[in-house]
Each structure stands twice: as structure tokens, then as C-alpha cells.
């Protein structure tokens, strides 16, 4: 049938295929994030499905894999969120006891006098707070807050339906991609106009980045988040441990890391009368938390998924802005696709070496040299120096 088409018809068919794919992306735009998340999880759990497929039928293998996904992702996340919720409840209870024991009349007068003293020191400002003005402002804030709460309740009622619908669609898409993974890969190879070799390079890069971000970077981020929260707990901040774990873990996905919070928190501790705890938090972050990445990354993140720190930072923040929380994973994946596309262009049109795409240049020599370095030196921060025997072939 292919020979029956003329060159003009083949070009028209190619244009129609591009238009169809573009319309499909527009038509499914509301579910693209869900499809991308399902594809990432299906890729990660595909090895487990293949093992089970050797012993059981398709339905049972897919069901066990789905249960493994729930046990691996949903249950731990729900547990941490539940513990964080309990800590928030305890904090609210503590605030309630403080409210019951505090004389707000005297406290309000002291705060009002302090605020007026500060306003009097500000140049070109002639304004005095009175109990009436404060009461009017609180009334306005209360009305606005009530309107926001009402709108949030209305949106939540609709979001429950959309959440249930999204979960059902996710299950179907996940199971379809899980059981038909080879067909999806073959379809991508057929639709890629650059050929199967370049398609395999894209698949390898994207797969490496997904593993690096979800498996490697996730483990590193969790370790850094727990370590940072533990340092704050030891330093005296006993409330909100699990909240700090969640918050610092999310921050650890970006190159700046949880130090955005822990270092300023340590400085505040020093200023407000806890110098030992504050210095401990700062030193613990600089000496321990930052080196968790240096120790674990060589074992968990493949070299083919390497991105420059600036590109990784841009990819994570752009992904968060575009996709929300899942942008932590999808942002670096899109960035590696962009970088790979530019590398393919350089190879084809600028005669750049093929290693600029595959990232394999020099790896065998590096691995051989690394094997001559003691294991305890390879896990320490920094790049171990080559021995004189390993350096001689390079000099030649």
C-alpha cells in the first residue's frame, strides 16, 4: 500500500498526521498531566509487571502491580500527611490554651501602644491606631475571609467529583500503559521522523531522567528532608516535625535545597537566645545535609540524566509553575528532551561528536580508574584523584 502513494500524497499524509497529533494534544489538554504521571509510574513499575507476567496472567499481574504502586506511593504519603495534620491539630490546641490563659485587654493595649510608637518614628506618616479603627479593619478582614471560605467550600464540592473522575481515568491509563508498554514505545519509534536510533536515544534519556528524579532524587530529598527536620527538632523546635519533613523534602528537589529554611532558622535561633541550637542547625546543614547528596548521587543518579545545576533549577521551578507538584518530575524530563534535541541538531548540522548526545564519552576510562580507588574514598565528597598508574595512559 505504501508504494501506491505518490510523493505529494505522502507529504499530505505527514501534514495530516502532525495536525491530528496537535489536535489530540489540544483535545486532551485537561488530562495531559494525568497521562504524563500515569506514564511515569507505569515506566517505573514496568519491571515488576514483567516479573509477575512470567508467573501469572495479565489481569493478576496488573492488579498486583497496582497494589504495589498504592503501597509504595499512596500509603507512605498519606501517613506522613496524617501525622502532619495531627501536629497541626496539637498546635491549634496549644494556641487555644494560650488564648484561654491570656488577658487580651491588656495585651491589646500593649500591642496598640507599641504599634503607635513605631508609627510615630516613621517619617512623613501621621497616623494613629485606635481601638475603633482596629475593630473596623478586623470586621472587613472577617467579611473577606468569610467570602473566601464560602468560595472555597463551593469549589471543594466540585473538586471532589473531579478528583474521583481523575482517579478512575488514571487507573485506566496506568493499566493500559503498563500492559501495552512495548506497543507504546514502538508507536513512538514509528512516529519519530528522525529515525529509530534517535528515538531510542530520546527514550533512554527520558527513562534515565525519570529514574534519576523519582528514584534517585526522591530518596536523596527524603534523606535530606528528614535530616534537616531532625536538626531543627534537636535544636529545640519540637512542634511540627513532620511538617518540616514534608516542606524540606520538597525544597531538596531543587539545587538550593532545604538550606533556604534551615540556615535562616538557625540564624533566628541565635538572635533570639538559642545560640547553641542555631549554630548546630547551620553547621549540621553545611556538613551533613549537603553531603548526603554528594554521597548518594553517584549510586542513585545515572550519568545520562545529568543536567547542569542552573538548568535543573530552571526546570524544577518552571515545572512547578506549569504542572504544580508533579512539575518536580516533569520539568526535568522536558528539559532533558530540549537538551537532547539541541544535541541532535549539533551532531547532524555541526558535526559534533555523538558522545554529546549519549553522554558516554570517556566513561569506560573513568570507571576503570574509579575501580583503582578505595571504596571508602569514592563515597566521600569530591572527585578522587587518579593514581599515578591511572594517570600515565592519559598522559601518553
Q: What is the pLDDT of residues 110-166, one digit of tens each?
A: 777 777 777 777 776 677 777 777 777 777 776 676 666 666 555 555 567 777 888
27 vs 363, residue with greater confidence:
27
Average of per-residue pLDDT across 198-221:
80
pLDDT score for 49: 92
List C-alpha distances in Å: 8 to 4, 13, 14, 108, 191: 12, 9, 10, 82, 19
In a domain, 352, yes or no: yes
Confidence of residue 30 (pLDDT cuts 50, 70, 90): confident
Range of the domain at 374: 192-261+289-359+366-380
Distance in angstroms between the alpha carbons of the first and the last residue of the chain: 58
Is the residue at 11 inside a domain? no
pLDDT at 360 over 60: no
Q: Give the mean model confidence (pLDDT) for residues 71-91.
A: 71
The verdict on residue 200 lying in a domain is yes
Provide mean pLDDT across the span 80-90. Answer: 69
pLDDT tens, residue by residue, 280-329: 999 999 888 888 877 877 777 666 666 777 887 788 788 888 887 778 77
**Is residue 300 included in any domain, yes or no?**
yes
Q: Please tell me the total count of domains within the chain.
A: 1
Instruction: Please tell me the least confidently modeled range out of 3-7, 8-12, 319-323, 344-348.
Output: 3-7
Q: Is 376 part of any domain?
A: yes
The predicted model gives 201-215 an average pLDDT of 80
Q: 98-107, 224-233, 251-260, 338-347 — which one is most confidently predicted on average?
A: 224-233
Whole-number pLDDT of residue 373: 46
pLDDT at 214 over 80: no
On whether residue 138 sits in a domain, the answer given is no
In a domain, 102, yes or no: no
Q: Is residue 132 part of a domain?
A: no
Amino acid at each position: 500500500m505504501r508504494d501506491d502513494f505518490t510523493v505529494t500524497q505522502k507529504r499530505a499524509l505527514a501534514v495530516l498526521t502532525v495536525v491530528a497529533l496537535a489536535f489530540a494534544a489540544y483535545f486532551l489538554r485537561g488530562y495531559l498531566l494525568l497521562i504524563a504521571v500515569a506514564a511515569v509510574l507505569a515506566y517505573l513499575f514496568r519491571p515488576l509487571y514483567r516479573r509477575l507476567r512470567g508467573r501469572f496472567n495479565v489481569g493478576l499481574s496488573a492488579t498486583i502491580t497496582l497494589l504495589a504502586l498504592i503501597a509504595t506511593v499512596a500509603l507512605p504519603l498519606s501517613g506522613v500527611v496524617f501525622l502532619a495534620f495531627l501536629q497541626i491539630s496539637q498546635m491549634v490546641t496549644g494556641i487555644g490554651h494560650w488564648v484561654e490563659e491570656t488577658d487580651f485587654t491588656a495585651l491589646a493595649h500593649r500591642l496598640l501602644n507599641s504599634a503607635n510608637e513605631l508609627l510615630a518614628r516613621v517619617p512623613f506618616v501621621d497616623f494613629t491606631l485606635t481601638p475603633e479603627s482596629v475593630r473596623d479593619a478586623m470586621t472587613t478582614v472577617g467579611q473577606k475571609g468569610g467570602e473566601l471560605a464560602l468560595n472555597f467550600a463551593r469549589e471543594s464540592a466540585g473538586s471532589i467529583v473531579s478528583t474521583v473522575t481523575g482517579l478512575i481515568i488514571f487507573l485506566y491509563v496506568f493499566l493500559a500503559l503498563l500492559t501495552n508498554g512495548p506497543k507504546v514505545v514502538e508507536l513512538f519509534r514509528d512516529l519519530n521522523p528522525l529515525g529509530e536510533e534517535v528515538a531510542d536515544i530520546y527514550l533512554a534519556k527520558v527513562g534515565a531522567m525519570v529514574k534519576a528524579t523519582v528514584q534517585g532524587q526522591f530518596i536523596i530529598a527524603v534523606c535530606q528532608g528528614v535530616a534537616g527536620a531532625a536538626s531543627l527538632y534537636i535544636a529545640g523546635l519540637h512542634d511540627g516535625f513532620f511538617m518540616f519533613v514534608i516542606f524540606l523534602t520538597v525544597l531538596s528537589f531543587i539545587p538550593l535545597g532545604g538550606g533556604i529554611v534551615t540556615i535562616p532558622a538557625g540564624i533566628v535561633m541565635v538572635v533570639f537566645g538559642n545560640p547553641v541550637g542555631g549554630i548546630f542547625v547551620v553547621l549540621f546543614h553545611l556538613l551533613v545535609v549537603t553531603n548526603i547528596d554528594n554521597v548518594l548521587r553517584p549510586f542513585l543518579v545515572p550519568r545520562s540524566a545529568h543536567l547542569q545545576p542552573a538548568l535543573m533549577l530552571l526546570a524544577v521551578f518552571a515545572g512547578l509553575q506549569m504542572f504544580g507538584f508533579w512539575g518536580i518530575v516533569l520539568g526535568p524530563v522536558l528539559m532533558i528532551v530540549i537538551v537532547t534535541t539541541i544535541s541532535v541538531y549539533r551532531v547532524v548540522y555541526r558535526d559534533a561528536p555523538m558522545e554529546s548526545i549519549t553522554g558516554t564519552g570517556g566513561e569506560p576510562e573513568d570507571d576503570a580508574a574509579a575501580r583503582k580507588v578505595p571504596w571508602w574514598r569514592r563515597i566521600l565528597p569530591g572527585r578522587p584523584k587518579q593514581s599515578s598508574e591511572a594517570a600515565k595512559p592519559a598522559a601518553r
